[in-house]
Structure 1
Amino acid sequence: MTIVVACGAFKGSLTAIEACHHAAEGARRAHPDADVVERPVADGGGGSLEVMVAGGARRVPVTVAGPTGDAVDSAYAAIDPDTAFVEMADACGLLRLPGGTPRPVEASSRGVGEAILAALRSGRGNIHLGIGGSASTDGGTGMLSALGARFLDERGDELPDGGGSLVHLDSVDLSALDPAVRAARILVACDVDNPLLGPLGAARVYAPQKGATPEEVDLLEAGLTRLVEVLRGQGMAVDPEAPGSGAAGGVGFTARELLGASLDPGFTVLGTLTGLEDVVSAADVVVTGEGRLDDQTMHGKTPLGVAALCRNHAVPVVAVCGRLDLEAHRVAEAGFVAAAALTEVEPDLEKSIANAGPLLEDVTAEVISRILP
């Protein structure tokens, strides 16, 4: 019997790799003779780089600019001589904010551009870019600046990094884009379909989550609007309404419109890179899960992606999680034959989080024993 454990992160307690390890221990406890395969999963946000490395990619260290300009030690994943994976969260995302203090107006996407450039200069022309967990709302201008673009005010001076300065944008110079960038094939792992502007756009929806006050949201919205105006004024037929343009503070917009990138669901991108479907297709049962199963899960989060793969190959799948907020009929609707939560064993949430690893082993052993006596 082959049991595949394909868990995502339990945010605040376990990384995807740790969650898979503990769930696998529980599966072995339930069926000691089973072949248990651990395959961590992610969707392009924080932790995706680790998942790629765990899946066999090589970690290549790079030093890049964090969201506020301070140098940080990041990396990209070298998948093969032609392909690399870059994670925005690790380069210049929220987790890289000094002291965890939000800087919504000044934060920049420059670091992810520097990581992309390092991967390109290594000879890897296929870039897979995960953009979840961003700290900035700069329309991707920091990323483009690192790749050779120039964003200028009316005096011809380059604007400071950060979305707040875009209200002073007068022209965009793309003539010095690195030649490797022009030849690159870029695929963005993106799980949101928001436009760039308006009530559902990058600033209005996501900037408050990055610490922006209402006044700062207005400033960032004005800056993104100005970016579109200038690009159109220079004859570029950009589409800020295209789905995903509002992802990562507008990185989705510039990646598509100025770099020719395509945007695909994050789970699909990461699953393809790690060969997840091949592993799932050979399984007798799959265990998946993350910190919480709720209404958001039903809108395409990682466990639902695993369940869809299992359905395609007629493989039963069970879900384990920290907290279960789905009724039984919705668990079945999602495609799981069973689901179990850590809080069913330890109702105290703080204790559940503190002891997530051992509890996950117990819960996985119980749910596997229930469906495979």
Structure 2
Amino acid sequence: MRHILKLFASIFLAFILIGCVEKEILDDVSLMEGIGFDYIDKKNILGTVIVPVYLPDQPPKSNTFSAKAEIKKSILQEIQRQTADPVVTGSLEVVLFSKTLSEKVGILPLVDPFQRDPGVGSGLYLAVVDGETKELLSGNYGIRGNATYISDLMEHNIKNEDLPKTNLQLFLADFYQEGKTPFIPQLKQIGKDKLQINGIALLKHGKMVDLIAPEEMFFFKLLVDKYSEGMHQVKIDSGEAAVRSIHSSHNFKLTKRNPTEIMIHIKVDGIINEFTGQELTPKTVKALQKQFEKDIQQESLKLIKRFKDKQIDPMGFGHFVKTQTRNFDFKNWRENQSKDLVVKIKTDVKISESGVIE
């Protein structure tokens, strides 16, 4: 009998506690799906928020609200004064920063509130905008709303194209990991209803210091991520091949100390879907493999040299060497060892003969 009374008491208390939880009814709030920040001056920024409006038997309409505020103060406080319902962050999908703001001020003061907000998911996408975020967010993309379109654009390019994995969680992990430079994609509006990813922004101490161009993104992804799907064009004297369904992996090996030497082994598997030459013979396939390996080695080493000159480390060489070294001294690494770092690349490309000859 005593156990039954305890059970009823527990159930009664649970119902009381449930009644104490603060509720938010969807019809009574404005769900912010995207936010962008533009540079005004050293102290002030312009924030623009996307709030979807759902209408019966129609695609959602994206309403935008903009407000000016000091960098260290909340834009949302200003925007709340413009909306009929409270603006909440529970549906936030993308946070955008203008290129000017990313270069002059940096994005860290603006990212910090989102990592502290329990309503924001770690899968949130961050991106730099080549232009003004207000103009980009005011476009009309797709039928599911602008923020969802931007989120889907990045997800598609991560899974099937040349964009490495990226989100709020990965950005913060790279930022707080000593010996690693964080990166996020850069977007550009190419029409009132069109966007494209036109590069990858590299950020040092939160400020954008370099940009991976679209033609370099394939090789950059080979160095920092892996492919499950992808495509690359390979040219030889007898024609040009479209190598699709690319699968790749890479691993680092510390091969020497004093000076430090790292070997990167890149493996790539692909299928020839199209070839512009006359005949796709085993000899031609072998020539394509060799050229592909040469392209990967040359372009990857070119990127690594550039990063070394700019004193940035998106591959995370410093972090890798730390995992292989007792009593590792990051100060000595930055000031001395990293300058003498030697990186070598070993490539292993396998191409299956298949597809169409044009």
TM class by smaller structure: under 0.3
Q: Which has the larger radius of gyration?
A: 2
Q: Structure 1 or 2: larger strand share?
A: 2
As a proportion of its length, which structure holds more helix? 1
TM-score, scaled relative to structure 1: 0.25
